Structure 1
Amino acid sequence: MTMKMKMSVVCAVVVLALFLIDVGPVAEAVTCTPTELSPCAAAISSSSPPSGACCTKLKEQKPCLCGYIKNPSLRQYVNSPGAIKVLSSCGVTKPKC
């Protein structure tokens, strides 16, 4: 399997996980729904820069990141090098939970 195919599989798994898992609300103003971060999937799994929609959603979902990190099903995606790169590119600091 080529590296490009592996990255495509990883991206598909991330998107699928985001669609299947709902962490629940953390704050009243934000509903924590990992699927809201689906615009970031391409940037997380490739070297492409994050879109404006991705950065907007990351900033909206920032209060939810600790919940995602504490969720065993999502932790690996939030802590991945690609996700950390996207957070940094969008000006969102990774929380210390």
Structure 2
Amino acid sequence: MHVLTVELTIKPENLADFLQELRQFSRYIVQQEADCLRFEIFQDDDDPCRILLLEGWSSRRHLEEVQLQRAYYQPYFARVQSMFAAERLLRHWQALPLEQG
């Protein structure tokens, strides 16, 4: 599984609208995309305008070459882009095998 984390900072006045958009968007992905193995949304306890997405995908290649090219991404980003207070921070992760002891 390829893991992607996305750190978001949302303008306070847009937080409720953003969370509504994000919930609809993520619900669609989880229901429609078989290659989405995990999708979780976290909100910072100390700063509710900071959101973390934890996504699990079948592969990084699928995520970049197929998933992010889907037609529904552009309208979503067009709706939420102005709600961001800072640039999104994306990090890609790979699992390391546990050592057998």
Please give the TM-score of this superposition, normalised by the length of structure 1: 0.40
Higher relative contact order (CA 8 A, sep 6+): 2
Indicate the structure with greater strand content.
Answer: 2
Indicate the structure with greater helix content.
Answer: 1
- Name the larger-Rg structure: 2
